[in-house]
Amino acid sequence: MLINAQLDYTEADFNAIASLVYNRVGISLHKNKKNLVYNRLIGRVRANKLSNFAQYIKMLGDNSHTEWEYFVNALTTNLTYFFREHYHFELLKAYVNEHFVHTTITEPVRIWCSACSTGEEAYSIAMTMVEVFGTSKPPVKILATDLNTHVLSIARKGHYTPDQLERVTEKQMHQFFITHKHNNTYEIKPEIKALVHFKRLNLMDRQWPMNSQFQAIFCRNVMIYFDKNTQRSLLNKFAHYLPAGSLLFLGHSENFPDHQNQFVLLRQTTYTRV
């Protein structure tokens, strides 16, 4: 889609928007994203009855303005599906089986899905834990966070269409989902929902509210949107929440920035805390 010449949108507007989103959530927008930004935000400019992007940017100058939520939601990407990078879940299953299934544990296994989007990743973790522990009530607590409030509302409901379940086996469909034939959707069963706590969190916040460490953190296909300095900062904060031997899962196209000694590659974009 070409930029609509009837609505003023300049290079300076794009640079201002890129600066706003970087400072707020750490996302680094390159110049080739100019048209994408226009397409993502044009609806918000019109919804606020503004005649150009400069007016919209001026409105966002108020850091407490309610439009910030819509702005961030519009510019965050939320591509996900069940059991994405299936090997990660096999590694998680093997790790939990080795360290927790056959031992007496006094605290639940804590796992953090740090960019949960519409919930498929968090629920995939929950299903994996049910399978590895062999019970619908495993000793597991899953924190699922995202910046985007819209996708969090979808995740909490846990309703999905058949095309979203392509990687879910027939056995898993029967075990973990309720079929709603009237609208051809599938809902995550209550006992699986109970394992996951959804919460809004900006990874760029200076301090995170969690008080406990995690045995595994999923941060997949997130760091590709950050520059190297932001990546290093994020890894340092993750390291604080991961004890030695725990796991960090990244996306298949992501690499660690140089000069870090807190994680070593286990295999296939899975790292262990040293």
**DSSP state, residue 9:** -
Confidence check: pLDDT of 5 > 50: no
40 belongs to the catalytic site: yes
Share of the chain above pLDDT 90, in %: 77
CATH assignment of 86-273, given 3.30.365.10, 3.30.450.70, 3.40.50.150, 3.40.50.720?
3.40.50.150
> If you average pLDDT over every residue of the chain, what do you get?
92
Is 146 assigned a ligand-binding role in the annotation?
Answer: yes
CA distances to 72, 223, 264, 267, 274 from 229, rounded to whole Å, are: 21, 11, 19, 24, 21
Is 103 assigned a ligand-binding role in the annotation?
Answer: no
Q: For residue 77, what pLDDT is reported?
A: 74
Residue with tokens 């965050």: 76
Is 232 assigned a ligand-binding role in the annotation?
Answer: no
SS (H, E, C) 117-165: CCCHHHHHHHHHHHHHHCCCCCCEEEEEEECCHHHHHHHHHCEECHHHH
Average pLDDT for residues 85-97, to the nearest whole number? 96
Confidence check: pLDDT of 260 > 90: no
The H or E element spanning position 110 is: strand 109-113
Q: What would the pLDDT profile of 190-205 be if each residue is shown by its tens digit?
A: 999 999 999 999 999 9
The whole-angstrom separation of Cα 238 and Cα 269 is: 15
Is 220 assigned a ligand-binding role in the annotation?
Answer: yes
CATH topology of domain 11-75: Chemotaxis Receptor Methyltransferase Cher; domain 1 (1.10.155)
The whole-angstrom separation of Cα 86 and Cα 188 is: 19
Report CA Rg, the chain. 20
Domain boundaries of the chain, sorted by first residue: 11-75, 86-273
Residue 6: pLDDT band (50, 70, 90) is low
Return the minimum-mean-pLDDT range out of 25-29, 120-124, 192-196: 25-29
HSE-up (13 A, CA, CB side) for residue 170: 0
Model-level pTM?
0.88
- Selected catalytic residue, list 24, 40, 156, 232: 40
268: left (phi over 0), alpha (psi -120 to 50) or beta: left
Confidence check: pLDDT of 160 > 60: yes
- Selected catalytic residue, list 146, 156, 163, 167: 146
Residue 151: pLDDT band (50, 70, 90) is very high
